[in-house]
């Protein structure tokens, strides 16, 4: 299964935050040179203080494709990181209302929906409820096509996709080939696994 890998990192005040320590984000970029990997930036300053690091997007996007998540709650805000150079914007159903999703799809097709988002208390949206399934179906009907899911919740796509092409981005720290949930997922030809959202520690383990 040939897929893209997207390394997700937390960033604050211009630095990558890993294990409580600060790293130069260009050190991460250097370790990805020669690959097709991308970076997903979780902007801690945007989340906590509404001070988004668009200058960091601008600097890094000259070197590598950047996906960006800044805890946006309004569709109007998603254009700024795109102007700064972000390839994709990550939004989740915990912060965006239906009204904002409707506004966002009219602005850009670069939005990726995170259905496996992390709450402020550190708990992931692991319980993919019938309500979450209903939200996803509505969003796909609006025209969204890119969705982040955990392997465990891929099977919940059954009946949600309708006739819509869906690009899946699977958040997992294991190769997709090693995921039994994924191998048993929908055989719908409209559902395509495009890549894997992987943790920063994969790079650290490789360096070791």
Identify the residue whose tokens are 């796909």: 140
Asked which of 37-46, 69-78, 158-167 is least confident by mean pLDDT, the reply is 158-167
Pairing mode, if any, of strands 38-43 and 21-23? unpaired
Identify the residue whose tokens are 């509505």: 138
Please state the pTM of the whole predicted model.
0.91
Residue 6 pairs with which residues in a beta bridge? Answer: 38, 197
- C-alpha torsion angle, residues 112, 188, 183, 128 (rounded to 10): 50
Find the helix or strand (DSSP H, E) in which 168 lies.
Answer: strand 166-171
**Tokens (6 digits) for 67:** 């996906």
Query: What domains lie within the chain, and their CATH numbers?
Result: 4-207 (3.20.20.70)
* Nearest CA-CA partner of 61 in 45, 35, 34, 41: 41
Q: What pLDDT digit, counting tens, does each position of 108-128 carry?
A: 999 999 998 877 677 776 556
Choice between 184 and 201, residue whose per-residue pLDDT is larger: 201
Q: Give yes or no for a contact between 64 and 36, defined as CB atoms under 8 angstroms apart.
A: no
Most confident of the ranges 57-66, 122-131, 137-146, 158-167: 57-66
**Tokens (6 digits) for 35:** 């690959």
């Amino acid at each position: 299964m040939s897929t893209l890998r997207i390394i997700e990192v937390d960033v604050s005040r211009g630095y990558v935050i890993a294990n409580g320590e600060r790293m130069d984000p260009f050190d991460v970029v250097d370790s990805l040179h020669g690959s097709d990997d991308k970076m997903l930036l979780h902007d801690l300053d945007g989340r906590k203080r509404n001070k988004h690091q668009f200058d960091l997007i601008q600097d890094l996007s000259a070197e590598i494709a950047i996906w960006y998540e800044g805890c946006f709650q309004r569709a109007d805000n998603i254009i700024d990181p795109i102007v700064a150079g972000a390839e994709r914007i990550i939004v989740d159903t915990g912060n965006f209302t239906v009204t904002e999703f409707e506004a966002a799809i009219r602005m850009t097709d670069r939005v990726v929906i995170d259905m496996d988002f992390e709450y402020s208390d550190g708990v992931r949206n692991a319980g993919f409820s019938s309500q979450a399934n209903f939200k996803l179906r509505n969003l796909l009907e609006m025209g969204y096509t890119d969705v982040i899911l955990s392997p465990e919740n891929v099977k919940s796509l059954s009946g949600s996709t309708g006739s819509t092409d869906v690009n899946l981005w699977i958040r997992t720290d294991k190769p997709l080939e090693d995921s039994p949930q994924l191998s048993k997922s929908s055989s719908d030809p409209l559902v395509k696994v495009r890549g894997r959202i992987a943790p920063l520690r994969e790079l650290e383990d490789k360096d070791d």
